[in-house]
A and B are shown apart, each in its own frame.
Chain A
Amino acid sequence: MSDGSAFKSASEEVAALMRELTQIREVLRDISNRVGQIERHVKRAFTIPAKDKSKPIRQQSANAGGVMKPQITSADALREFDELVSVCRDHGPETIINRLNAKDHSELRVIAVELGLPAGSKVSRKQLTSSIAGRVRESLLLSTNRNVTEPRSASATSRTPEEAKKEE
């Protein structure tokens, strides 16, 4: 109303309409966000159920590219691995290399497959032995750690009164 008229000018009308449109756009954006939220919630709530983990699934087969039928099962392979870990802990890594060298190629492949190692038909005996030995070392390392410091509370409580007096 800069020209003294009782009514709004065209440009003022445009500005007012623009303000209203902005407000409507914000409302629509809110509604769109809300609808999006509902849509996401519905998708997540009624999604196709995950595959049943208890169902037997196709395992990576040791005989996939295979030549010879392995003589041991998956359970045997894991049992053998546990024994290798125990032997390595007690007698050192050379012993397990000897033990692995005494095994058939097909047996080594089954063990390698069970441990998630590459075990295709082109993988050599030496590679299989070395990678299985690596897993054995990993297993031993996973259960060892050494704290070189003692916590304050532990060192304070582990002293006998006599020891404490001596230190004083």
Chain B
Amino acid sequence: MTSASSDGPAFKAQYQAVLDSRQGQFEKHFVDATLVSLHQAAHSRLLDVEKLYSKVSGRREAQIFDLATSLFADGLCQIACANYRLAFYCLRSFLELSSAAIKFSGHELELRQWQQGGRDILWGALNNDETGVYSAIFTSAFYPALKKETKHYSGLAARTYRECSEYVHGNPKTHGSNEIEIERSKSWFELADAAVTCIIFIFFVRYHSEVGASFASDVDVSSILQSELGHFEGLTSAIESGVTL
């Protein structure tokens, strides 16, 4: 039987060693100029997403958005500590939960079933050509003018999910040294950017026709949307006016 001292049980030291090792990686992460710049960009993307999600905070699905952003933040912490598997897991969950919240917003019955424990969130259903949020059918229903643009985001979301899953499932190529590997970190930031890109697109598609005026009246939200989607024909004025094309 292990005896507990005032400093805690003896095996606590093993965990402390792990934490110290992570702390060491954390320090290294924040002195590498490339990683700092990527981290800063991802951090600011998280703030963007939080601003967007705040526009639908009164809705039933908002709690899922909250969980999704906190997982993204966890992912940022884990990537700074070179905890790659967890970082990719958090990123995948961010993508999955955000997509699910948006899908549920269009299918309230499913949302209620999920809340009552009677339904699971499955990626296959979220990125499905017929029923998913990245389908032309979903875009046609909520923002028809962007229907032709959907495929890019569907492909991007699928790749992001697949590559994150490789870490979740422990595929051989994801095995590493537990220390910072610049290329591995870069790939996380690249996928994080891709995930946010997908989410902003479908978030806009889903909610603009309902809360477009609220987007338009918020300078920050409006400028996020302009820089992300303003290149699409007609969207600059739709974002400015809040009127859906």
Partners in one complex: no
Interface residues of A (CB under 8 A from B): none
